[in-house]
A and B are shown apart, each in its own frame.
Chain A
Amino acid sequence: MTDPKQPNNDSQGMSRRNFLKNTGLVAGGLVGGSLFGGLITNQVTKNDKKPSTDTENAQHESYEARIFFSRNEDFDTLAAATERIFPETDVGPGAIALGVPYFIDRQLASEWGTNGHDYMNGPFPQITEVEQYEESDVDQNEQGPEAETKVPTPTPRYQTRMNRGALFLEGLHALQRTANEKFDAEFKKLEGAQQDEILDSCESGDIEIKGISSNVFFDLLLTTTIEGAYADPAYGGNRNMDGWKMKEYPGPRMSYLNDIDAEDFIVMEPESLRNYQGH
């Protein structure tokens, strides 16, 4: 078992948290050229440690900043919500320590956030018309040929003219509004249990959001939070590969040819895409 790092920042202190982190941004022993050709021999061995270089342990200053959310308060709500969804526990860091809010911020600024590859032509049926479809949603995790490759959350049919970025803003504003109405306080300042209560009603579709039912937003938030915990650190989440360390996931590797028949579970120090690309 690897020993998961314990996060030392508290869940509210996101914007003022310690900016220094060990980014591990260094190319390891993988030579880029060895990725080419059919020359791959059996050189990758269990628990391989890469030769350390001078910069490997250097502390890098982080330039992490919001590039999608313009309001502090929206970002704080997002951070608080992701931390309730994926909290810090004994097994390892939660969403904030993993950088999930920054991950989501960048995703929303990307082509995915603007639905650049999606069919966005009308007409868009109004919410009452699509409700029946949303209700018949099933858990993708349990169904379909590619169930194995799906994020384990349901994805209702996407039938809104809003792109994902707009949808997130509407959703977060709805969480803030509900916090004010119910508890007369900002979402990020509520007790965990109060935040959960709001997230629960969001999940069951009971919070009003213009143009969509709130469970659509919740599912998107949930999916994206989990992606942020475990996607390659290049995307801003999974800081220090701590998400991977937690579940003993090794990251991208060239070959398991020697290990595929190994009886025992093999724990490797994780490597990131940056290691893999070798520069």
Chain B
Amino acid sequence: MAVKLDKVDVVVVGSGWAGGIVSAELAKDGHKVVTLERGKDQTRSDFIGVKDELRYTNRYEMMQNLGPETITSRVSINDVALPVRTRAEFSTGTDLGGGSVHWAGSVYRYRPFDFEIRTKTIERYGEKKIPEGMMLQDWGITYDELEPYYDKWEKMAGISGEPDPLGDNRSSDYPNPPMQESPAIKLFKEATERMGLHPYQMASANMSETYTNPDGETLNQCMFCAFCTMYGCDFGAKSDPLVTVLPTAVKTGNCEIRTNSLVRRVLHQDGKATGVLYTDTRTGVEYEQPADIVVLAAFTFTNNRLLMLSEIGQQYDPETREGVIGRNYHGQFNSTFLGARGFFEDKKFNMYMGAGGLGGALSDYDADHFDHTDLDFIGGGGIELRQYGDGAIKSNVVPKGTPRWGPEFKDKSVHYANRSLIVWYSSTVLSWWHNYLDLDPTYKDEFGDPLLRITYKLTDQDKNIAKFGIEKCTEIMEEMGADIIDQDEVPDEFDHLYSGQHYAGGIIMGTDPATSAVNNYLQMWDMENLFVVGATAFPQFGSHHPTPTVAALAYRAAEGIDKYLKDGGGMLAKAKQQNINV
């Protein structure tokens, strides 16, 4: 029998940006919050002196231990799914702060088009532009409605940046100036300017200057130390929950964070959540944490799986296309971030320096900024040149046609170690009837509960937008003067590699309970005191990296929860029927 604990106002599952923001905001509003995190406690001192590429980049030190639990993966609805067994194939965050600690920190808002993609596509191109089986949906919120929350997060997180010349309305500038330019970024900007495009310095969550946020948390200046993506920052210079929202939450005296607490069920009775069941991973003791509000902010896989294991909401069925839980699973992987790599014979770049969010970008091929009448896809994306800072194991790229091993490989990998740059397209990913999540019939976790099963097939849309992006990146690389240009290949089929944590959907937002699971406060239609926060709410991927939108939605959800608690309950948004032929 589980040990029953004292009831609190809000229990939050997950301590990344999503859970951290909700915890901080509600604790500041005076509500009693308990935040549960499956992973261990960690602080900045864990990151000092561990700039070790093998351990973090190649052995995935900060990623979820898959021993007790993983996902299974298949391509089509008739395949048998196999477990994704290693962290080289599936990496996702764990430990205090989650994936939001080892993220890179490139920062983009989504576009007005992204939020109203269905309406705006039909307006401009007619209904026939949308292929059968594409579950294209508006989000139930507009850019203008979300803008204040983006603004709030950028100020809290201390984002460094300059306005995108093709950007949308902003209520204020970024709180920090843009990051410094490196020669590689300059080369990208000068070339694209000559081409009549509109490059700018990518916004970043690495601090260009020391910054104190409105909650009084101070972040230090970034050192471009290069051990950034897949690492925690040893300087407190990368904005993450550990240096912002989590200490802010705890300082109020209203929030208790419990690590090593693996949540296994949402408990509910008569259509209302009553709390969660969790296991202390050190002792195996089970606890029941009762609460007035349950917030799931445990990233895409857990958010979906917990609803399924707890039997909340109707599971999506691809055969009938009915049900909402697990629907519209999608994400930026495999078919996105493709582009062109250039090798330069007479130029060497200090690519061993860098920061996760250091880069040049442009939005000329973003969203619906260009005419899609004669194009065989919908949406767009950003083009980026990133300077993450490459480790020595990573910088082993050689021009295509080079043998994979032996003397020629070796000599070329050494020769080109500091002579190659990549430009890629971070494109949108749309949702399809056959891509979804449910529980695996065969494989189980350490407690005997079924694993989450992912069914994901690439479509012509994915391949066509990838092809388009690769061509654009190639033109840019040519103008940049590369001697050898290798184009990325468009994958034939999904490769079952899950990295980068750009996975979304399954518990999507909208205005119609028949096609969405949560409203635009991320409140479940089927259970009004349960909020599901994270990229799970995306009906389809916007044309950029996801995190600022996750964070903006978390602020919105926190506002809704506060209102719900103060008003004594009720739905925060009205359901509307929509006319979607999917």
Contact = CB atoms under 8 A, between A and B. Distances in A.
A277 B497 CA distance: 34
Nearest to A159: B82
B87 A118 contact: yes
A205 interface: no
Interface string A6-37: 00000000000000000000000000100110
Interface stretch (B14-22, B125-133, B166-174, B414-422): B414-422
Contacts of B391: 230, 249
Interface in A89-145: 89-92, 94, 112, 115-121, 123, 125, 130, 133, 136-145
A51 interface: no
Given A119-B67, A227-B54, A249 B495 contact: no
A56 interface: no
B218 A38 contact: yes
A137 B48 CA distance: 37
B83 A148 contact: no
Contacts of A244: 392
Given A247-B417, A249-B352, A142 B496 contact: no
B48 A35 contact: yes
A276 interface: yes
A143 B488 contact: yes
B496 A133 contact: yes
B528 interface: no
A273 B70 CA distance: 32
Nearest to A89: B407
B500 interface: yes
A157 B89 contact: yes
Nearest to A90: B411
Contact of B489 (A143, A153, A256): A143
Contacts, number: 244
Contacts of A203: 404
Report the contact-size class of chain A (Cβ under 8 Å from the partner): 35 or more
A136 B350 CA distance: 35
B54 A231 contact: yes
A119 B227 contact: no
Q: Among the interface residues B338, B407, B443, which one has the most CB atoms of the partner chain A within 10 A?
A: B407
Contact of A144 (B60, B210, B497): B497
A128 to B, nearest CB: 13
A257 B223 contact: yes
Given A85-B405, A86-B410, A230-B393, A136 B495 contact: yes
Contact of A261 (B53, B180, B417): B180
A187 B88 CA distance: 30
A266 to B, nearest CB: 6
A254 B225 contact: yes
Contacts of A121: 83, 443-444
Contact of B491 (A84, A143, A256): A143
A19 B349 CA distance: 37
Given A155-B88, A244-B392, A227 B58 contact: yes
Contacts of B444: 121
Contacts of B69: 119
B85 to A, nearest CB: 5
Could you tell me the dominant secondary structure of chain B's interface residues? loop
Interface stretch (B228-236, B246-254, B255-263, B281-289): B228-236
B414 A246 contact: yes
Contacts of A257: 221-224
A123 B332 contact: no
Contacts of A265: 348-350, 418
A149 B229 contact: yes
Interface string A153-165: 1010111000000
B350 A259 contact: yes
B414 A152 contact: no
Given A250-B352, A256-B353, A262-B350, A138 B183 contact: no
A148 B394 contact: yes
B182 A144 contact: no
Contact of B499 (A118, A138, A144, A262): A144
B541 to A, nearest CB: 11
Residue of A89, A244, A247 with most chain B CB atoms under a 10 A cut-off: A247
Given A40-B223, A138-B489, A145-B337, A276 B49 contact: yes
B54 A277 contact: no
Interface in B259-294: none
A25 to B, nearest CB: 16
B443 A263 contact: no
B225 A273 contact: no
B66 A247 contact: no
Interface string B373-394: 0000000000000101111111
A232 B227 CA distance: 13
A231 B393 contact: yes
A68 interface: no
Nearest to A39: B220
Interface of A: 32, 35-36, 38, 40, 84-87, 89-92, 94, 112, 115-121, 123, 125, 130, 133, 136-153, 155, 157-159, 196, 199, 203, 222, 225-227, 230-232, 234-235, 238, 243-244, 246-250, 252-257, 259-263, 265-266, 273, 276-278
24 contacts: A35-B48, A35-B234, A118-B66, A118-B86, A119-B84, A136-B495, A138-B495, A144-B337, A144-B500, A148-B422, A149-B230, A150-B88, A151-B393, A151-B394, A153-B404, A155-B88, A158-B89, A247-B417, A250-B352, A254-B225, A260-B180, A260-B224, A265-B349, A273-B51
Nearest 6 CB-CB pairings of A with B: A252-B51, A145-B500, A38-B220, A255-B223, A265-B348, A247-B417
Given A142-B489, A222-B405, 6 more contacts: A92-B414, A147-B337, A148-B394, A159-B82, A252-B52, A253-B225
